[in-house]
Amino acid sequence: MKKIVMVISTALLLVFQVRADGPFRPGDKASDFSLKSVKGEMVSLADMENARGFIVVFTSNVCPVAKKYEQRVIDLHSVFSAKGYPVVAINSNDPEANPGDSFEAMKKVASEKGYAFTYLRDESQDVAKSYGATNTPHVYVLSKKGENLKVEYVGAIDNNSDDATKANKTYVADAVNSLLKGESVTVPSTKAIGCSIKWKN
C-alpha cells in the first residue's frame, strides 16, 4: 500500500512538474524561482509580497536589441512598480559566450544605470529554459492571485525596437494596464527579432 501511494505521488509530482514547465504561453501557470540579485541576495517572486504581478524581462547587458530597450525597461518599472507590477530582469546568458553578461558586469551596469528594478543572474539557465525564453529582450507579464502566478503576456515590449518614439503598439504597457483595470489582455503574445540567449554547451 505504501509503495502504491509512493508511486502515485511520484507520478503526480512528475505530472505537475511537467505542467509547471515551459515554454510558458499565455494562460499557463508560471513557476517561481530563486536567483541571485546584483545586490547579492537570493530573490524569489514570492518575496515581493505587495506585488499584484510582475514584468519579467529576460535581458542582456550587451545584446544590441536589449540595449535599445534598456531605457524602456527602466521606464516600465518606474511607471508600473508603484501600481503593483515591478520589473524583474533576468540575465541568463552564458558569460563565457558573452563576457559582458557576467555577474560582475551585471552589477556594474545596474549601478551605473541606477537600476531600480531587481536584476537577477540565472546561472544554471534553468529559469530561461523553464519559461521557454529564447531571445533578449523577452518579456513575460505575470499576474498573481494568492500564491498562483499566471502568464498573461509573452513577447516584445513594443513594436519598434529601433526607435521608441515610432512604436505605435506598446504591448507590455497595454497588457499591464488591462490587468490593472481587471480586464483580459487584448494581445497576449507577440514575437520580435532579438539576440538568441547564449546557452552553455
Partner 1 sequence: MRSGKILISVSIFLVFFIGLEASGQKIEYIKVPDLEKILNNKENKLLVVNFWATWCAPCVKELPAFEKVAGEYNESKVRFIMLSLDFPSQIESQLKPFLKKNNLTLDVSVMMDTDYNSWIDKVDPQWQGNIPSTLIVNHEKKTRYFHSGEIDEPELRALINKFL
Q: Give the interface with partner 1 as residue ranges (CB under 8 A).
A: 64-65, 68, 134-135, 155-156, 159-163, 166, 169, 190-197
Output 107 or 129, the one with its CB closest to partner 1.
129
Number of Cβ within a 10 Å radius of residue 3:
7
Instruction: Identify the CA nearest to 91 among candidates 201, 174, 195.
Output: 195
Output 86 or 137, the one with its CB closest to partner 1.
137
CB of 135 to partner 1, least distance (A): 5
CB of 184 to partner 1, least distance (A): 19
Output 35 or 156, the one with its CB closest to partner 1.
156
CB of 176 to partner 1, least distance (A): 18
Q: What are the grid coordinates assigned to 39, written together?
A: 545586490
Burial 162-192 (b: 16+ CB within 10 A, else e): eeeeebeebbbbbbbbbbeeeeebeebbbeb
Output 65 or 176, the one with its CB closest to partner 1.
65
What Rg, from alpha-carbon coordinates, does the chain have? 17
